[in-house]
Structure 1
């Protein structure tokens, strides 16, 4: 049985076993909305899912700097980025070759201070502000969902 004929789930399990997940950098873009904190999500390039801006590590950049750059490129936001990650999630990316790859973005909080209508991926992606609770309902990765729910609970306790 070659790799291409192997059932997707079986191949995914084999690859998870033999190779650790690739690290990425993600930005959780937050602002104060009229009814509480809001998070900016972007649609994936295939417009299948809502997700945080994220990307591969960049040469000579710390992961939090990479997350801030991805937030600008994918969502048109700038702001103050945390030094340390506030969480992480795992997802499967299907490469152009058709092979699934496990990715683990580390999530950095970005407090948004600037929102632009002109940014590198403006024509490729849809962006939308969500309440933390609504964002938790539309994202797929369980760890990201749990982080958003936890932040929503914490915001209600203040």
Structure 2
């Protein structure tokens, strides 16, 4: 995708979330999405992915981010889980065991595999872009108030 181009830190304040949405971008990929109370001092406001996030937060239409490249620098099995999270459509939700079933080579009846799913969700570098709020009984990398607002936005 051509939208993730300029390396740097980008942030805008969201009145809906009552905090900033901040992106870290490098090498054509989003490295991280965070929700600080105060953005990094050198953060710039304008970035195409950030604009799309705010269109999503406006709630006027279903916005997906499956075409945005996210750097997933984590073990392969955790990356596989997060890739499956990206397949959960806007307004849908699954539970942790269903996500384990969706992920190749994981067994939803194996406690270690279920814990792996929970760890991957907790370590998600890009909430919203990788919509972990759509996993109803799993942890989210977004702060709980943000997760609840994202779930509410999608009617979950």
Q: TM-score, normalised by structure 1?
A: 0.28
If asked which structure has higher relative contact order (CA below 8 Å, sep 6+), I would say 1
Q: TM-score, normalised by structure 2?
A: 0.28
Q: 1 or 2, which has the higher strand percentage? A: 1
Larger radius of gyration: 1
